[in-house]
Structures are given as structure tokens and as C-alpha cells.
Amino acid sequence: MNRQQFLQRFFLQPARQSVLLQVEKSKAAAVLVVLRQHEDELQLLLTKRSSELRHHPGQISFPGGKIEADEQSHQAALRETYEETGIAPKQLQLIGQLPSYATGTGFLIHPWIAFLTEEVELQLQLSEVESAFWLPLPFVFDPQNTHSEYFSMHGQSHLMHFMPYGPHLIWGATAAILFSLKQQLHY
């Protein structure tokens, strides 16, 4: 799949409804699914959070964070991406949003999608991001690379997705957002 095919599939499908749980108590956050065309495939950027962070240390995630009182979710996603990776908003083309996702840990995440408009050299903010890597989109779409299990949390059963990739385990909200992306594109 190339950039044009991605855009066609993304925009031809009706937007899916948000998964909202515990909204009243949730802390608002936004993430950015950064895509790039690399040779003949699309790739998306993932980061490994610093092990020193209070929330979700060492986990694989999209660039993102808290939505400040004076900004909209897409602005927070772009700001946090710049702070964590050095990718400036002018180097990105924002194309749309996936359904919001409420975590079991009290966050309501607003995922946005953007394409890189030029090649970049990442400049990681090491206090927040330990490392970053590009995940091939075909890997995400291959059903053999994902497994799912039900877990009980707060007295409710929740479906959790897991995607091992090399030394990384993608799970939790990140895997759920990738699953949402697959559904949006009908993979």
C-alpha cells in the first residue's frame, strides 16, 4: 500500500465511533500516528517511553501527551510530537483522526494521523523518549503478527491486542489504536 492507496481507503470509509469508557474521570491526551513512504512501503513511527516516566514507563507508544487547556487535540498531538521527536508541524500533513480511545488507566486518547512531507532526522527528547523506530504498515496488517486476549479490569472484561515486533512488544492503547486503524482501512 502506498500513500495514495492509504488516503483512498481511509477517506472512503465512514468514521468509526469512539470507544468511550469512564469519560467523566478521564485525562485528555492526544497522539500522532506519523506515516512516511519509505521506498515501496508505508511505515509508522513508534517510540519507546523513558523508563523514568510516571505513566507507562518503557512502553511502546505513539508520540503524544496531555492536551493543555488552551489547545485542541490535534494541536496537542502536533506539539507533543515536536517536543518528543523533533518533527515540526510544518513537516507534517495532518489528514484525519481515528476514534478516541479510553484506557483502563484513566486517559482518553485522541489519535490523529499525519504524513511526513519530507525526510527528517529524529531528535528525541531523552527525558521522555528512550528510542524510536519505524514499523512497516504491512506488518501491522498481517493477522499473523497480532494476538488478542480478554482481561478483567475494574470488574469488566476487555479485549487486549498484542503485537510483538523484534525486541518490542506493542500492546495496550498503542495496539488498540493500530487495531482501529486496521478496521478503518478494512484490513
Q: Say if CB 13 and CB 184 are below 8 A apart.
A: yes
The owner of cell 518528543 is: 84
**CA separation for the pair 63, 81 (Å, rounded):** 5
Q: Return the pLDDT at 124.
A: 96
pTM: 0.87
Estimate to the nearest angstrom the gap between the alpha carbon of 26 and the chain centroid. Answer: 18
User: What does the pLDDT look like over 13-38, one tens digit per residue?
Assistant: 655 554 444 445 568 999 999 999 99
3-state DSSP of 119-172: CCCCCCCCCCEEEEEEEEHHHHHCHHHCEEEEEEECCEEEEEEEEEECCEEEEH
Q: How far is it, in rounded angstroms, from Cα 9 to Cα 23?
A: 30
Q: Please report, for the chain, the start and end positions of each structural domain, with discontinuous segments joined by +.
A: 3-136
CATH match for 3-136 among 3.30.70.2080, 3.30.390.10, 3.90.79.10, 3.40.50.2300: 3.90.79.10
**Tell me, what's the pLDDT at 19?**
45
Dihedral of CA atoms 120, 124, 130, 133 in degrees, nearest 10, equals -10
- Cell numbers given for 48: 519507546
What tens digit of pLDDT does each residue of 95-118 get? 999 999 988 778 899 999 999 999
- Residue 98: what pLDDT? 93
Mean pLDDT, contiguous 10-residue spans, the chain (187 residues)? 86 56 67 95 94 77 94 96 97 94 86 96 93 96 91 78 94 94 86
Around 82, how many Cα atoms within 13 Å sit in the side-chain half-sphere?
11
- Look up residue 183 and give its DSSP letter: H
Do residues 49 and 61 make contact, with C-beta atoms less than 8 angstroms apart? yes
